[in-house]
Structure 1
Amino acid sequence: MVRFFTATAHSPGPGPLKWDLGFYLGCLAFALPTALVAEFYGYRVWGNFATAAYGFGALHSGWLLLSARNGRTPRGLLGSRWCGIAAVALLAMILPLAVLVIRRLTGVDWLITPVSWAAQPEVWVIERSADLLLHHGTPYVDVTALGRAPVVNDYTPYGPVMTVFGLPRALFGGTPLTDALTDARWMFALAACACVLGTLKLLKWPRVPVGAAQLALACPLTALTWAVAGPDLAIVGLLVLACALAATGRGAWAGVVLALVVSAKLIVAPAAAVLAVFVLVRRGKGLDWPALARFAIALVATTAVLHLPVYLVDPAAFVEHVFRFPLGMGVVRSPAASPLPGHLIAETGAIGQVAAFVLVGAAAVAMLVWLVRRPPANGSGALLRIAVGLGALILLTPATRYGYLVYPLVLLGGYLVFRMAEAGTHGPAAPPAQQSAATSS
């Protein structure tokens, strides 16, 4: 399987190497300030590791660029563009996660002191939701019956499926060793990796462009999320897997997996429209209504099975946590407020709030027009439309976080891999000129 990752990595020419150098320098510009001034302890730990990782990537890319200009071709691992990716995976993902998991055993995460958090609040909340599910049949507490004023961390703003990632800790935690091994971030990471492998298998192991790995794996948002939180990586991994299932004619299974995605985090619900259109037109020989019916039935039935049992236990709590809180209509207001365009516009006042929602609606209409006039003809087309749609939603929604931009970045990386699969790029390495074109895309 190594050849699928290394085939386009050697002798790429100056163009892709200039991109690599710019990419790692840009990532370094994000990591270094994070190490020095970030509000959260986990961010600073990650920033220190990531500074070393991206610094190495920049130096390595600069060395390869100089070697290429001097007519030299380094061999072995150090001569591969994948060397920088490997450095990021080790130094900016695996090692900081391991350090933070061990640091978390000191038990200070629940304090209102971000400078001590070894895991972001979503990790604790998801693990707690699993414990609540086991003991009360629902991961959602009645925030009006706590005997005190509710706070943000009382909320579980996810669907019932997200609770699954906290079950190992709820079931087997309790000692330092088992707490470390069952940290929910390991579960998110394992799920994301399983989705990547499943997708590549469905696509018959296409070559993975270095640029795709940079977007989906090595960019700071992915590496930071991996180390300090993780749920978004598992969700976007499932979303890419659903696209792979739809692209290979497994519409019903795509509906099941998409139901898991939507039942974990509602932000990705717009992907259902894109995949529905894709399933309908995928064959390119007329509209495939039976395939769409299978997809829709699987999606709706699975979503109902996942939601109804929890909803019936406490309908009011379900609505408060899953719908009202994320929309900023709950008893406590969502703190999601990154300085993205939608938030900045909404902060100008009542007119700004209306304008932000009008922009969201306009983006939704534009996406629907795009889908109707130019429906996705293949998996890469579906991924591109989902990436653009989610990116617009994240940028324009008043209550959002910049970390959610990991969704369009990973989807764009997946788009490049799907393009390789659709072009039939398997097997031995292409000539250097072709390698340059493939990797620079």
Structure 2
Amino acid sequence: MGDRRRALGLDVAIYVVCAVFAVVTALWSEFYGYRIWGNFASVAYILGAAHAIWLLTTTGTGWMRSRWLPVGLVGVVGMVAPLVMLIFRRLTGSDWVITPFQWSSQPEVWVIERSASLLFDTGTPYTDIAALPRPPEVNDYTPYGPAMTVFGMPRALLGGAITDARIMFALTAIATIALSLKLLGWPKPPVRAAHLAVVSPLTALTFAVAGPDLAIIGLIILAGALAARRKAVWCGCLLAIVVSMKLSALPAVVVIAFLVVTTRAGRASLLRFGTAVIGVTALLNIPVLIVHPGAFVEHVIKFPSGTGLITSPAASPLPGHLISSMGQVGHVVALVLLGLTALALTVWLFVDPPTTGSDTMLKAAIGLGAAILMVPASRWGYLVYPLVLWGAAMTFAVAERAASRPAEPHDPTLSQAR
């Protein structure tokens, strides 16, 4: 009983903190989409806190007393409802304007949809920044790999509200998580894992106004589940897709690759895994590189690293950005520190490689978290990666405990005697 009360007390604290964040966002954010989300989400979080307080002060049973009820409420009221409203609000025309208070979606949504149109028209999803007849702007850039264009293809081909890239991101995230749970034997995720992966404002806000990071996280988790179930080839294909969507997801890709290498016996299996990774990566990237290698490098490598023709607007007060903002020397120091962080993580993986799915998800969360803190251009919203992967690690651990539990012997004679 004491453990449950402590858990409910933490539930109250989580929902209250989330509610404060949502209210502040609704009142003071410069982005229209953020404010809409804040209005919806503040209601969901306040009701979640009230529900947790009610559970603390009363006793009884029934579905109304489930700690999962406010999680579902946040999903419906704090995620789906604002997403639907913003999708239809976008039909009034608010893309590419310079006033954030009119944006019904964040620029990454339009940029990814544009990249699909460019791919169909020119063979590359990237504009030639140097050839623009005007000074380049931030939204001229597409800081994603070629594979990310798949989410913009429905709108590029069909147009209309129901092809909004956010719907594609959401469907991908939901489908990949469902497939991961199926591979793991349908473990019951801990409520705290749901708080990290779903209830968190980092997830809920991203779901409503943007979404590409959630799709990538879902693919990372699915790749981890495939690795844990020793499906090396499929895992390799998925890792290639992830790194071909967003290069900054590389730390998680490396961690999962270590799991495959440390748990697969035999050179043939490792050869198939390596062939899948290299082959799919080449298939997704080389055609675009051939069309315009300079544009690929400018968009995918130089712009995110802060060495492009213009700098990334990602400027959350995280260590890497703060150091990088101290002039040219600071930028060099930040890049050196990022390299040292990558080296330290690699050494750590060699010394203590992941051996289970939960260990892999936790190490991936740590690796991505460290990279996000140290990269010169970053946003606090990217912390959704380590939070969701931490929740995934908890769920993987539940599946592993269930798998390691010895099965009860079944003796028909004993059953009849009873």
In the superposition, the TM-score normalised over structure 2's length comes to 0.93
Contact 1:325/1:331 (8 A) holds in 2: yes
Give the C-alpha shift of residue 12 in structure 1. Answer: 6.7
Identity of aligned residues (%): 55
Q: Give runs of aligned pairs for residues 248-327 of structure 1, distance below 5 A.
A: 248-282=229-263, 288-327=266-305
Superposed counterparts of 1:24-103, under 5 Å = 24-67=15-58, 72-76=59-63, 78-103=64-89
Q: Which amino acid aligns with 1:30?
A: F
C-alpha separation in 2, matches of 1:231 and 1:86: 22
Aligned partners of 1:85 and 1:214 also within 8 Å:
yes
Q: What's the counterpart of residue 13 of structure 2? A: 22
SS of 1:118's equivalent in the other structure is coil
Q: Is the 8 Å Cα contact of residues 342 and 397 (structure 1) preserved in structure 2? A: yes
Within-5 A mapping of 1:230-249: 230-249=211-230
Determine the structure 2 residue equivalent to 1:222.
Answer: 203
1:144 corresponds to 2:130: yes
1:154-212 deviations in Å (ceiling 9; x for gaps): 11111111100000011111xxxxx1110000000000000011000100101111111
Measured in 2, the distance between the counterparts of 1:301 and 1:425 equals: 33
SS in 1 for 2:304: coil
Which residue of 2 is the match for residue 192 of structure 1? 173
- 1:1-16 counterparts in 2 under 5 A? 13-16=4-7
Partner of 1:391: 369
Offset, 1:339: 1.1
C-alpha distance in structure 1 between counterparts of 2:220 and 2:8, whole Å: 30
Of 91, 94, 99, the residue aligned with 1:113 is 99
Q: Once the two structures are superposed, what CA deviation does each residue of 1:122-156 show, in whole Å capped at 9, x if it has no partner?
A: 00001111111111111111112222221111111
Determine the C-alpha separation between the residues in 1 that align with 2:130 and 2:344: 40
Deviation at 1:317? 1.1
The 1-side partners of 2:302 and 2:328 are apart by 19
Q: Cα distance 1:355–1:149, how it changes in 2: closer, same or farther (>3 A)?
A: closer
Greater shift, 290-299 or 56-65, is seen at 290-299
Structure 1's 26 and 378: CA in aligned 2 closer, same or farther, altered over 3 A?
same
Kindly report the root-mean-square deviation, in angstroms, between the aligned alpha carbons of the 2 structures.
1.7
Aligned length: 405
Query: What's the CA shift string for 1:81-104, capped at 9, x where partnerless?
Result: 001101100111000000000110
Residue in 1 that maps onto 2:392: 414
Question: C-alpha distance in 2, partners of 1:137/1:59?
Answer: 53
Tell me if the contact between 2:220 and 2:253 (Cα under 8 Å) persists in the aligned partners: no
Deviation of 1:329 after TM superposition, in Å, equals: 1.3
Relative distance call for 1:288 and 1:65 in structure 2 (3 A) is farther
Distance 1:375 1:361 in 2: 20
Q: Does residue 1:135 correspond to 2:126, yes or no?
A: no
* Structure 1 gaps, min length 5: 1-9, 174-178, 428-441
Q: 1:280·1:289 contact (CA, 8 Å) conserved in 2?
A: no
Aligned residue among 169, 182, 188 for 2:163: 182
Partner deviation per Cα, 1:237-290 (whole Å, 9 max, x = no partner):
00000000000010111010011111000011122321222112126xxx6443
Give the whole-Å Cα distance in 2 for the aligned partners of 1:355 and 1:29: 36
Matched position secondary structure for 1:423: helix
**Letter aligned with residue 246 of structure 1:** A
Q: TM-score, normalised by structure 1?
A: 0.89
CA distance in 1, matches of 2:297, 2:203: 30
Could you tell me which of 424, 434, 437 is aligned with 2:402?
A: 424
Task: State the secondary structure of the residue aligned to 1:14.
Answer: helix
Query: 1:212 touches 1:416 (CA, 8 Å); kept in 2?
Result: yes
Deviation at 1:426, TM superposition (A): 11
- Rounded Cα–Cα distance in structure 1 between residues aligned with 2:268 and 2:2: 48
Q: Distance in 1 between matches of 2:21 and 2:347?
A: 36
| CA spacing shift, 1:131–1:425, aligned 2, 3 Å | same
Name the structure, 1 or 2, with higher relative contact order (CA <8 Å, separation 6+): 1
